[in-house]
Structure 1
Amino acid sequence: MKHPSIIAAHEQSPLLEPEPTTNPTMLKHGLMGLRAMRGGKAMPQTIGHRGFKAAAPENTMAAFKAATEAGVDALETDLHLTRDGVVVLCHDETLQRCYGNKAKVRDLDWSEISQLRTLREPHQPMPRLIDLLEYLDLPGLEDIWLMLDIKTHDDAEEIMKRTAETLASVPSKTPWSTRVTPCCWNATYIKLSMTYLPDYHITHVGFSTSYARCLTHIPNISFSMLRHSVASPFGGRFLRDMKQLGIPVHVWTVNEENWMEWSVREELSGVITDEVALFHDVCDRIGNAEGQAPATNKGLRKTTAPKSWFLYQKARFWGEMVLIHFLITIFLARDWLKHGSQSRHINKIERSTTKTHHKDRAG
């Protein structure tokens, strides 16, 4: 039996279609560049964060199945390598938080990890990437695409190579290159994605709009940004520029209703959320409401609450912004220590894409 989103897509009206005002270059991004139709209006696509985390243990097959049954447009998950080179779906470097084991994922073989179960009920095993790909190839799930957040704890070349091998090993009715996007935190991983997955759309996932701007020359790039990084005045300019360039922008992790409304107002390409059902409710309400402004420009809802409450919310918003930018600085410093100067890697990518462009024109 097809789940409701697939029925709507194939038998009633397209679930995903570009707005009339969408930049035509957005179409080159395939499913990643489209917007969902809800309530007769174009909305951001719904992307299940680690599956449907609110309904089942994160990054488990139960969470992914719950997400597809809830009608998501895409799934987001995280990649790590086991000691024997198996690509598994787990967010953390260690197994402590989700599985109660203090070991790091890379320090155990798949045969050991496969015996673990989540601390959260219903107790679930950790899936491999191959398990999720085989599930997404089932009839009725062909329109669901996948974001692979490639964590930076493993050897960069090894995890990219193993990911490419896994994708190549699973037959699909439609090419995985049209349904899967590797999500890379820095230029090192982007360059490796271009090497090992040359036909795939690439997503840069990160915090810095300045860093993202340096990557706009890469063909078929899209961005998955922390919501706070694009909610400031500089972020607003970034969103406008990316829309003009036809580059999709998705944001994470959006679980509060006011942020969901802000995402709709900003006409984002997609929203990565734990609260799939709530986001659908918000989209349906906004889509069915005529002439109602869904949110203010800063992610704070219009309210009739006392002024003190409004001031508290505004102070909280900017407090979060300061904290996030502090954490961004720490993350970028750590990344520089581990991978070296990113400007050097970006320049290499730019030279590589320029050579390819000239070669194509000469051909």
Structure 2
Amino acid sequence: MLGNFEYCNPTKLYFGDESLKYLRDELKNYGSRVLLVYGGGSIKKNGIYDEVIQILNESHKEIAEVSGVMPNPTLEKLYEGVNIARDNEIDFILAVGGGSVCDYAKAVSVSVHCDEDPWQKYYLQGEEPTCKIVPVGCILTMVGTGSEMNGGAVITNHETKLKIGHVFGEEVMPKFSILNPQYTLTLPHYQMVAGFYDIMNHICEQYFSGTDDNTSDYISEGLMKSLIHSSRIAMKNPNDYEARSNIMWTATWALNTLVAKGKTTDWMVHMLGQAVGAYTDATHGMTLSAVSLAYYRYIMPYGLDKFVRFATHVWDINPNGKTKEDIALEGLSAMENWMKELGLVMNITDLGVNENMIEGLADSTLIMNGGYKVLERDEIIQIFKDSL
């Protein structure tokens, strides 16, 4: 392990099929005015909404609501939530949904008492909150983002064609999150497998950096192998509780900052995917699957030893009699086969991108360092072309 770091994750987790009962105890720690945030209405169809409302009423909470939070929360929706929170003098925000709803709740939490424009302050200038932060709790209904145990909040600005994430500090992380795997069983197949790949890519983005013998990499390899194993079970039987619970737990640990420790991390696949998402509003996990193989094959020569390790440790590729390049490529082919097995989107054309959009996508792609290769603009263009 190289470098120096500190580690603190203040989010308290309640996990299991009876975990919602702990909401009552948590609500005692916050004020009486609660903003309930949720998505398109699926929680009303599956009964989760009624369960949560009952607990809020029994806890004598005054409830305001923001519904219709979309998979890629927009700046306009953020402004709407901030105004509702201000009008109702909200004490606490309860997010019920997937990662986008949790992201959105955190973005609202840092904006309610902020006199500055949140897009300028947090997303364009990358500043940290200097105002009072409204506490957030999460009830997770879809796995993938890890937003239930981190400070990340991604917002899309359609006007400028930018989708930007801000990772806030521990003061913005959810105070608690309730993880009931049963709540994920009704997800449509498309959303389920998109979440699976989001998890995988979160781990890869942290794994493909650094060259030291790092404990975080061993943890990452175990998480990836668990995900691959459980995803195949879930593909055959989406209602397999054991598989879905393992996937839910893996998703949380994939992006709660643990496996990033001692790592420089490489988030370029997310930057490429988020540019696609800003243009198409495509499902986040699918934007990642559509660009990741082209990216990893491009940077593989710059981090060859780690790609060899990925092939042998995660995909069980036999290295005997093969060059490092052959082993590494065989590992990426194994991942590609697994992705196709899941039914992921494998190119950006299927998400609505055409060659005329490539220049604009490149302009919307933030360039990150920390990986094995810092990309130039022409390289980004080539990767997008290879992803068509």
- TM-score, normalised relative to structure 1: 0.27
Q: Normalising by the residue count of structure 2, what TM-score does the alignment of the two structures yield?
A: 0.26
